[in-house]
Structure 1
């Protein structure tokens, strides 16, 4: 055991120079050279989040030396968050006939071409760290939170979809479904600062739209009713919270700041800043459970108008 620990510590010491030639299995690092090309092409200011993640990785390896090789391959051998993410996703989604290096190259190329994705990746990392009490560090999100990884894979697949590279986008969707148990159609539109908590069983349809700062728990479906074609999936506004086991079906709008209780089935629109629960979902209202509609700027609907418009939801 002492030999193992000493060896791992020597690896960490070597990181100050260049760990790859001395310690890395070349088959793992087929793609790491792209990291440096990305860094050289990036004229932006110092990436403080990436610096923080590397610090977290070093501390983890100091605590658990057995993780040294894994953390080098996933984090410490890279010069950018984009390179680390592309490589990690590539090898996580790889198959015997679809090598990790090939997938990683696809991911990295898309991230190089569309820098807006990188900004959304960082917003997602920060959102998870802020909103998930189980989140220990940014690096743990990057390596172990499959909801985060599924969303980032989708961002690349969506970019490929919009470019007309449909077969590749669908292959990535399928691999994400198999590996992470999350099925997001590449046509779906997803904003930034999104949290898929636990994520197992999440299904998001082709024409779904998810706004910024949305939180979705596990086993949630944003699907169609089976009675419509074309634009047939839900539209979630900014700041929406969808509880576990919920099914939101049809081309309906869930207003900004709305909350959907766990286990609900939502078939009608939900206004902003309100809460819907149950099967079928109804809005919480009444003398003992007043509807709070004044928290959203510019929203002025009074209670009478609200009850008239949304009478089908009243408990």
Structure 2
């Protein structure tokens, strides 16, 4: 049976993701319980953030509502709003679970799901964006803009609610990240801090990058214009990319140019930042 929290019914996520969400929720609860036992100073926090809730959706809704509430839209209003998104689009919970697993698997400083759920602003900002995107696509665009603004203020991350983001995405650190209105980021992409997926300043309409599956984008990279970064490509830190990047190609520099091939098929998953046969020297 679907769970009932605060008189809101959480519908089940799609069949392919239901088991993953349930397994992640059980892991999250176990990690929170262990953290509370290890340090009694965290007992109240673990109970409030995880253990008191009946489902992953309810816990995530509560966490985002606390982070994003302000004078204009308070916590209870946001909680109802996020509940509405998860009820209408159950797949959002499957995407959140995939994102959380991605952080656990790819971030070398973290081996659990509890820490990113509680503290990593890249994960929180991405889940808040998903709610804003739901608002945007259902015609509630001023409220979507409000959520976008609060994400920027709370997390220093600016993702336009019309942008399209896949699943299993890691926004590592996240600070200074900007993703424009017509950008597309596909599944299993990893993006480090201070990255811009922006326009060139001269165009209207479809004007932002299309980042394909498994891409890794290094810190400080700027990818500008309606260009494609092909599947399995890698963009080096500090690069400025203004022309398309072929699949399974590494580019670096200002402007960026090809310098080799990634060692792995999907560097966004493996986080392998090395190059084979580099054509440049630092």
Check whether TM > 0.5. Answer: yes
Structure 1 stretches of at least 4 aligned residues deviating more than 2 Å after TM superposition: 32-39, 41-46, 291-296
Match of 1:276 among 251, 261, 264: 251
State yes or no: 1:56 paired with 2:56: no
Task: Supply the distance in 1 between the matched residues of 2:29 and 2:247 (Cα, whole angstroms).
Answer: 39
Equivalent residues of 2:234, 2:262 under 8 A apart:
no
Unpaired runs of 5+ residues, structure 2, are: 267-278
Residue deviations 1:115-145 (CA, integer Å, cap 9, x gap):
1111111111111111111124211111101
Report the Cα distance in structure 2 between the residues aligned to 1:196 and 1:257, rounded to whole angstroms. Answer: 17
| Aligned counterpart, 1:199 | 174
Pick which of 238-247 and 44-53 moved more.
44-53
Q: 1:191 touches 1:212 (CA, 8 Å); kept in 2?
A: yes
Question: Aligned-pair RMSD on alpha carbons?
Answer: 2.2
How much does 1:36 deviate?
Answer: 7.6
> Which of residues 166, 170, 189 is equivalent to 2:141?
166
Q: Deviations over 1:155-205 (max 9, x none)?
A: 110011011100110000000000000000000000000000000000000
Q: What is the match of residue 5 of structure 2?
A: 34
Larger fraction in strand: 2
- Aligned residue number for residue 213 of structure 2: 238
In structure 2, what is the equivalent of residue 222 of structure 1? 197
Aligned to 1:108: 83
Task: Indicate how the Cα distance of structure 1 residues 65 and 36 shifts in structure 2: closer, same or farther if over 3 A, else same.
Answer: farther
The answer to whether the 8 Å contact 1:202/1:218 transfers is yes
Q: Does 1:266 align with 2:245?
A: no
The runs of 5 or more residues in structure 1 that have no matched partner are 1-31, 286-290, 297-313
* In structure 2, C-alpha distance between the alignment counterparts of 1:273 and 1:218, rounded to whole Å: 22
Distance between the aligned counterparts of 1:294 and 1:140, measured in 2?
27
Between the aligned partners of 1:111 and 1:259, the Cα distance in structure 2 is 33
Number of residue-to-residue matches in the alignment: 261
Distance in 1, matches of 2:44 and 2:4, equals: 18
Structure with larger RCO (C-alpha < 8 A, sep 6+): 2
For residues 73-222 of structure 1, the aligned pairs below 5 Å read 73-222=48-197
The superposition leaves residues 49-85 of structure 1 with CA deviations (integer Å, 9 ceiling, x where unpaired) of 1011000000001111111121111111111111111
Give the TM-score normalised by structure 2: 0.87
- In 1, are the aligned partners of 2:233 and 2:262 still within 8 Å (CA)? no
Relative to structure 1, is the Cα distance of residues 136 and 169 closer, same or farther in structure 2, using a 3 angstrom cutoff?
same
What is the distance in 1 between the residues matched to 2:265 and 2:47? 46
Q: Deviation at 1:92? A: 0.7
Change (3 A) 1:42 1:255: closer
TM-score when normalising by structure 1: 0.78
Distance 1:233 1:42 in 2: 34
The answer on whether the counterparts of 1:203 and 1:219 sit within 8 Å (CA) in structure 2 is: yes
For the residue of structure 2 that corresponds to 1:187, the secondary structure is coil
- Residues 223-274 of structure 1 deviation map (CA, whole Å, 9 limit, x = unaligned): 0000100000000000000000000000000000000000000000000000
The 1:154–1:42 alpha-carbon spacing in structure 2 relative to 1, beyond 3 Å, is same
Q: Distance in 2 between matches of 1:108 and 1:295?
A: 37
CA shift for structure 1 position 33 = 6.5
Are 1:91 and 1:101, in contact at CA under 8 Å, matched by a contact in 2? no
Shift of 1:292: 6.8
Whether the aligned pair in 1 keeps the contact of 2:65 and 2:79 (CA below 8 Å) is yes
